[in-house]
Structure formats: structure tokens, C-alpha cells
A and B are shown apart, each in its own frame.
Chain A
Amino acid sequence: MSVTVSMIVNGKSVSAEVDPRTLLVDFLRVDQRLTGTHVGCDTSQCGACVVHVNGKSVKSCTMLAAQADGAEVATIESLAIDGQLHPMQEAFRQNHGLQCGFCTPGMIMSALDLVNVNSNPSEREIREWLEGNLCRCTGYHNIVKSIQAGAEAMSEV
């Protein structure tokens, strides 16, 4: 048995026949070959898989592809335009907000949703927002700095 799912991924209409139990993250990684979205756990705890669905951050391991039918999905691959990094990406790079890079796409996509709702977040607000994102490498110190700098840069644009 399979179902047809159609959605807009990074501005492009896509459609595919998938097993109904296909997770959105697998649809993105395997069917769409958008491997920037990662899988770090099986209990919806780590946030490596965060993408935007209709403009809000969502753990794509926690949603079926079929549930995203008709939605607009944005992944980390959508941010840089013509090789020009998004200010939040640039902020992570400038502030050493990543080491192995595995949590990074999820961190950046979460951070962008934070800035959507709070354009000038404090350290505490950032730390609390990252409740659903695990990083084992950075100790969070530089992620917090990156998000602060990214938010600032975004408000200047």
C-alpha cells in the first residue's frame, strides 16, 4: 500500500508515492535527497531533524510525510541564496556555534523560528527555546552567542 504526498519543499512542488508510515524526515532525506536534515534519535528529543512546516519549526521525525501533504516545508538547504549564507548561518560560523555540525541544521532552523517570535532574545530565552535541541559538542555556550548575533544581524537587514 502506498499514498501520494505532495508538498512544496524549499519552494519547489514535489510529489511522491510513499509507504504511509514514511516519516517526513525520511521523505526529505531519502526521497528528496535533502540530507542536511539529520536524525539523532528515535524519541523526538534531539532536534537534529528540525525543519519548518508552514513557517513553524517542527521535528520532522515526529510527523508523517502524509501529514505534511499540501504544506510548505523549508529545510536548511533553503537558507543560503546563491552561495550567500543566511545571517543566522553566518553567525554560527563567526561564533564557532558548531563543531561536528550534526546538530547544526536543527539548531539553525530552531533559532530562526525563535527570531520569528522574538527578534531580540536574551540568553535565558535562547536557552529555554533550545529545550528540544541537543548538542553534545559545543556545550551550548557558542550556540547561544551565535543565535544572539544572528538575531541581531537579522534585525539589521
Chain B
Amino acid sequence: MSDTGIGASVRRKEDLRFVQGAGKYTDDMNLVDQVHAYILRSPHAHAAVRSIDTSAARAGEGVVAVFTSEDMAEVGGIPCGWQVHSKDGSAMAEPKHPVLAEGKVRHVGDPVAVVLAESRTQARDAAESIFVDYDVLDAVVDMQAAVTDGATSVHDDVGTNVCYDWGLGDKDAVDEAFSNAHHVSRLDLVNNRLIPNAIEPRCAIGDYDQATGQFTLHTTSQNPHVIRLLMGAFVLGLPEHKLRIHAPDVGGGFGSKIFHYAEEIIVTWAAGQINRPVKWTADRSESFQSDAHGRDHVTTVELAMDADGKFLALRASTLANMGAYLSTFAPCVPTYLHGTLLAGQYSTPVIYCEVKAVFTNTVPVDAYRGAGRPEATYLLERIVQVAADDMGMDATDIRRRNFIQPSEFPYQTPVALIYDTGNYEASLDKALENSDYAGFGNRKAASKEAGKLRGIGISSYIEACGIAPSNVVGSLGARAGLYEAATVRVNPTGSVSVMTGSHSHGQGHETTFAQVVSEKLGIDFDSIDIVHGDTDRVPFGMGTYGSRSIAVGGTAIVNAIDKVVAKGKKIAAHLLETSESDIEFENGQFVVPGTDKAKAFGEIALAAYVPHHYPLEELEPGLEETAFYDPKNFTFPAGTYVCEVEVDPDTGTVEIASFHATDDFGVVINPMIVEGQVHGGLVQGIGQALLEGCNYDDTGQLLSGSYMDYTMPRATDVPSFSVDTTVTECTHNPLGVKGCGEAGAIGAPPAVINAVLNALSEVGVTNLDMPATPHRVWQAIRDAQAS
């Protein structure tokens, strides 16, 4: 292993600029002659808009223009990228998602009007003088109430609040297995609604060049080409060659910056209207009201077992909140990213999952770190623990008894996926050893001495990354392909620029991708640059989400490199006056093995661009190759997390005493970066389990609308972690990689809650929903004591 190749903890290229404050985030840009946009948002969850009077605002100081939906009549609604079909074959309800409210507002924060002014404060001041005549309607907030007969409709033209009623699996076989089971464990649970909260608020700057008809949108996006496709083709009707999307340094995304948002449309369209650049930056309170939220499931799950604790069947029924409108990928999250994961690491023979997606007067809900897989893992790892308790089995024994064995791969689950490889027991064993599982009893006794309740919890998660074979997702309703693209440009003097469709917003692609190139081409790490985030510079790619960058984007790079090497061999053969089949490429040299004939990579590059001695009849000059890679399957990272907590029974406070993670991510390119991804994911998972919860009141007011009210994990809330790996290599991509971005957020919540419930079992508490805040825990203890 070289010190900059695959497997090395190379220090990150991007950090040199970030630690100096020299990153270039969207809001750091200011264009000449720009105006500022302020968006007036609905203060009501549900109201008819009778009229909007903008006359005072138009006369405001510095105001350039004021727009409402009437001005945007030519502009289309915000499209949804995935169409799910219900059990009966009907397509999901897909009501229009207007850019600015058309006759009705449907959640607090729904955009109503936009003011453009010379300064941000002028725009804001003017917006305050817009008079909107609202007729406030009943708000639909609670999902159960939303699906009862006679409930108010969020969308009059849909007539019900059910977006779709979806099912997966063999229901009859499952029902049959349940009726013959020795024991059935059952659990009702809530997967709490979260607000993603990347620390960089969203920002968008629209620019229009009248002379060329060219539009540019600078935006905080994880996937600029997806935005170009959606906004160009479906909303503004702009041809792609006249629309550039640029996503420079982006300060975290976690899914929330995948989606196409109204503000991107507003600034682009408005720039064309006034022929000046238009800039909008979210206040944090706007982020809370307008970034897509995550999770929000209410679920009943049942697990049928035989007398030995062997799983016979699983049944899950879920209500999933869509919010007021369908965000870009919302429909696929509770279905194809959730139901398909319900086998987990277990050989449960039959599974049935049904999901009703529900419209409510809340912010749209979409993919947030893990997206569907945390919900699947949470319900599964919770019910497995309940089952262990019901059967009087140890948490590890019941898992071992049901794990899919290494000899069974490739393994066809009853919920559509085919796992290519894995070794679940290896991760479990390592996690138990690292966490000194066997010594828990002593630690518990010590805690008891100190008046504390100690608990231990396990979660053995699986996830599906590297989304995904285009024909498969196409058949499931995706309205796009999910390949990735890369161009490897060898420059005449031998340095390399790689243009990738993946996007880095913290993951460190500029480093890991360069490691792959350095290893494959045998060239200096510092002579490689990774270019991303600009539709004018990179080939059409699908961007970064679902932990797909290295598995899909990385493979596209490897495939492009293979083409470069193949061409290099032809050039080398010519220069070395031998046949192409005699040439091998190793350590940055084209060599004829067994001879001293060799050409360095740089010599080949120069020959390709200065083709004086070159087979011009057969070969084009230049050395630049593009590859589009469509994945053959998902990848399946998996692992076991062991969490130990100490609960103070007097205050209900939960402290994480230790957290041990063991993950199988396949081949690891940069262990330092991978560990960092796990740390970050774990804290988001622990945040969900103990601290974070988005709350609406009965009228649809967002109660957790700022950092004063929404509890973000802080440094004192979490411990340092022990992170370890096992390796089974992915069988269907050339790097053997699986992806690591979401695992922590997927695996952690059930590990924490299982630990909390393990601690509280001493005082008779048997169930608890997330977040396990001090108040909730304290109340649960009091309730258990009272009963």
C-alpha cells in the first residue's frame, strides 16, 4: 500500500482551504448588480388565500419587484421524481406543488410572495407590508386523524389524504405463518420526525445573461444535474444547454440538499424577469420551515417465531408522513428504501409490509441520512429485542440463531433484494469483544451502587447503498436513471483532472477519489484534481445520496481509468514497436514484461497530445475518457452496534456510557474518512434516539422551529466512540466497496433505545418512543411505578 493509495488515511486535500476559511460556499458569492430576494411565507398551516395586496411593498425603499403566483403563471409545479403505485395498481395521488401558493397555503413556511430589493433588509422590510387575506382552515396534523373518514383534505383535488396505499411481500404466506407460530411478539412504535439541519443554510443565486440567453443557478445542492433536469425540463422550460447549475462547496446536506426547492426556481426565473442576478439565503428559521424533514412513521410490527426463537414471519404496517406536498424522492423513502430492508440480517422466510403515505399540513418529508433504512432497522431491531425478552433469550443468541450465514450468499430476501455478500456473525463477535459484552454485569452492579440504572443494547443493521440499477428502479417508479458518470482527463504533462457527477459536501471526495486514481494510474496524488459540482464542467451525473459516491461514482472513475490505460497501451505499443498484447501497465509504467522496454505514464500522455510519432491512422490523439456506470446491484453494508447507557432514575437523564460500532463497508479507501463518517452518523442516530424531535401543535404551528427549541446534539451530549470494521468485499464492483455515509444514523437509534429499555426493565418500563428525553424517561418510570 502506498501512502496515498487505497487503504491509506491520507489527510484531506479540501482541508487546506477549509481550515483557513477559504472554502467557497454559495453565500460567499456576490454577483455584480445582484438584488436580494426575501420570501414571504405562510404563518398558517392551512388557509385559503383570498387576496394578496403588494402595493405598499412595491413602493418600499429599494424594492425592485414583488411577485406572487399570478406573475408566475407560465411556470410549472415542482415535479416529483418517483411514482409509487398502490396495492390495487393505481398510481399515487400527485397534487400540484406550486412554486408560490396558488389560492391556498398548506404548511407553515409555504412560500406566498417574493420581494426583490437592493439589500436584504430592504426586501425583508418591504415583505412585512404585504397584506395577505387568509381564510384559516382546519389543519391536518396527526396522521391517524388524517386518514379517518371525513377528515379535512390537504388537497381538495385529491379528496383524501392518502397519497398511496402500498404493499410488498406475500401477505397470505405471512398470515399463514403467523397462525401457526409458537409465539408472536408485537410492538407499536413511532419513528420521530427529524429536521436535517446541515449547518450551512440553503442558498440560491440566479443569474441571466441576456446576450446569450444563458441562465446560471448557483445553489447548495448535492446533485446539480438532477436540479438542471428537473428545473430546466419540468418547471421553467429551459433547454439544458442554456442552463448551468453550479454547486460549489456545500456545508453538509444529509439528504436535505438533494431535492429541488422552490427558491431555486424563484431566483432563476426572477433573474430572467429583471435581468439582474437574484440572491436568496435562508435564515435558520426558514430552514426549519422549508428544508424537507425526515422520518415520521407510525408503525405496528409483529414477529412470528417457533419454539426455538427462529423467525417464521414478519409483518409491518406503517403510516408515513409526506407533509403537504411530494418532495423530489419522498414516495420511494417509506416504500422501496424501507420495506425492502425488512429482512435485515435475518433469514426470515416470509415478510409482508404495507405503507400508507399521508398528506398533512406540515413541511414535506423526504430522504434524510439513511432514508427509509433507519426506519426499517429501528422497527426490526426493536422487535428482535422484544422477541428476545419474550422468549427469555439473550439478545445475541436470538440474532445468531437467525443470521443469514456466509454460505448462503448470494441471498434472495423475501422483499426483493439480493444480498451479494456479508458475514454478520463476524461483526457481532468483534463488537461484543470490543465492548466487553461479557463484563456488562459487573459494570451494571457498579452503576447500581451509584444509584444509576445501566443498560446495554444491540443493533445489527443492514442497509442498501449504491442506488441503483436503472432498470430496476425504473420498474419501481423512478423517473430517472441512477448511474454515475466520470471523465478522466490526462493533461499533456501528465497531471490528471477527474470530472465526477458525484458531489462532495463534507465526504472528502477530492481526497478519496484521488486516492483511487493515484493507485490505479500509479501517479502522484498531488497531480490529481477532482472536479465536481458544475454542470458545465462535469458529465451528466446523478450526484450524491444513499451512500452511493464510492460504489457508483468511484466505479465510473475506475472504468474511465481502464479506458485510459487501454488507449495508453496502444500508444505504448506503437512507441515501443511491439504489439499491444505485449504491454502491461504497472506502477505508472507501460512495460513489456521480461524486457527493459518501458514508457512512463507521463511520456504516453505527452505523446498523445504531441502526436509526432503516433499511430494517427488508427488512433485519435489526446488522452481523455468518459465512463457512465450503471450499478449491477445495491451494495449491502452491515454491522453490529453495542451501546451502553446509564440512566439517572431521579432525573430521567440518559448518558451514553460507551458506544462500540463494528461495520462491514467492504474495502475501505481511507480509514480516517470512513471513521469520521461513522462518528457523524452515530451522533445523528443518537440525536434521534435521545434529543431530536420535530413537533407541531394541533393547529400545525411548528413548535421546534429554531435551535432554541429543536435539540441538536452538542459536544457534551455524546461520547467518543470506538469504531472498528470487518471486511467482506462487494462482489459486483471493481473496488469491492459498499459505502459508509449513512450506517451510523441507521444502526444507532435501536441500539440506544434497546439499551435504555434494558436499563429501565429493572423498574418495569417496557416501551418508550424516541426521543428518550429526560422528561419522557422520568415519566415512564413514574408511570411504571404507579401501575
Contacts and interface: CB of A to CB of B under 8 A. Distances in A.
Interface of A: 19, 21, 29-30, 34-43, 45-46, 48, 75-77, 79-80, 85, 89-90, 92-94, 96, 98-105, 108, 123, 126-128, 130-131, 133-144
B707 A77 contact: no
Given A126-B715, A127-B715, A144-B715, A98 B19 contact: yes
B720 A36 contact: no
B165 to A, nearest CB: 35
A38 B25 contact: yes
Which of A42, A89, A100 has its CB near the most chain B CB atoms (within 10 A)? A100
Given A137-B252, A142-B679, A30 B715 contact: no
30 contacts: A19-B119, A38-B199, A38-B200, A39-B201, A40-B201, A41-B284, A41-B706, A42-B706, A45-B708, A45-B712, A76-B20, A80-B20, A89-B20, A93-B15, A96-B11, A96-B673, A98-B15, A99-B680, A100-B506, A102-B198, A102-B200, A123-B720, A126-B715, A127-B715, A131-B716, A139-B680, A139-B713, A140-B715, A141-B720, A142-B676
Which of B21, B284, B507, B707 has its CB near the most chain A CB atoms (within 10 A)? B21
Given A93-B12, A99-B676, A102-B251, A43 B19 contact: no
B27 interface: yes
Given A136-B198, A136-B252, A75 B21 contact: yes
Nearest to B706: A43
Contacts of B716: 127-128, 130-131
A65 to B, nearest CB: 13
Which of A45, A103, A138, A140 has its CB near the most chain B CB atoms (within 10 A)? A140
Interface in B659-690: 672-673, 675-677, 679-684
Interface string B9-43: 00110111111111111011010000000000000
Contact of B721 (A35, A128, A141): A141
Given A41-B707, A43-B707, A46-B199, A140 B683 contact: yes
Which of A30, A98, A130 has its CB near the most chain B CB atoms (within 10 A)? A98
A79 to B, nearest CB: 7
In the A-B complex, the 9 residue pairs with the smallest Cβ-Cβ separation, listed nearest first, are: A36-B21, A101-B18, A102-B251, A100-B506, A76-B21, A139-B679, A139-B683, A45-B707, A99-B506
A139 B28 CA distance: 25
A19 B720 CA distance: 45
A56 B285 CA distance: 28
Main secondary structure of the interface of A (DSSP, over half): loop
Contact of B508 (A30, A77, A99): A99
A85 B25 contact: no
Nearest to B281: A39
Nearest to A88: B19
A77 to B, nearest CB: 5
A80 B18 CA distance: 12
B121 interface: yes
Contacts of B721: 139, 141
Contacts of B708: 43, 45
A131 B714 contact: yes
A99 B507 contact: yes
Which of B680, B712, B721 has its CB near the most chain A CB atoms (within 10 A)? B680
Contacts of A19: 119, 121
B254 interface: yes
A100 B12 contact: no
A38 B20 CA distance: 12
Contacts of A123: 720
B197 A136 contact: yes
B567 interface: no
A86 to B, nearest CB: 8
Contacts of A93: 11-12, 15-16, 19
Contacts of B285: 42-43
A39 B322 CA distance: 30
Given A134-B199, A138-B680, A141-B679, A99 B252 contact: yes
Interface in B274-289: 283-285
A69 to B, nearest CB: 20
B250 interface: yes
A42 B198 contact: no
Contacts of B675: 96
A12 to B, nearest CB: 16
B235 interface: no
A39 B17 CA distance: 18
B725 to A, nearest CB: 16
Given A141-B679, A141-B720, A100 B251 contact: yes
Nearest to A101: B18
A136 B27 contact: no
B117 to A, nearest CB: 13
Interface in B695-732: 706-708, 712-716, 718, 720-721
Nearest to B119: A19
B505 interface: yes
Contacts of B713: 139-140
B624 interface: no
A80 B22 CA distance: 11
Contacts of A48: 199
A108 B21 CA distance: 10
A102 B250 CA distance: 8
Interface string B416-431: 0000000000000000
A128 B715 CA distance: 7
Contacts of B679: 138-142
A50 to B, nearest CB: 11
Contacts of B677: 99
Contacts of A45: 706-708, 712
Contact of B19 (A34, A38, A92, A127): A92
A37 B21 contact: yes
Contacts of B284: 40-43, 46
A77 B683 contact: no
Contacts of B11: 93-94, 96
Contacts of B119: 19
A42 B716 CA distance: 22
A138 B675 CA distance: 10
Interface string B557-590: 0000000000000000000000000000000000
Given A93-B19, A144-B720, 19 more contacts: A19-B119, A38-B200, A38-B251, A40-B251, A42-B284, A42-B285, A43-B285, A45-B708, A45-B712, A76-B21, A102-B198, A102-B200, A103-B251, A104-B19, A130-B714, A134-B707, A136-B252, A139-B676, A144-B715
Which of B24, B507, B676 has its CB near the most chain A CB atoms (within 10 A)? B676
B715 A101 contact: no
Contacts of B354: none
B21 A134 contact: no
B249 interface: yes
Nearest to B677: A99
A104 B18 contact: yes
Nearest to B30: A30
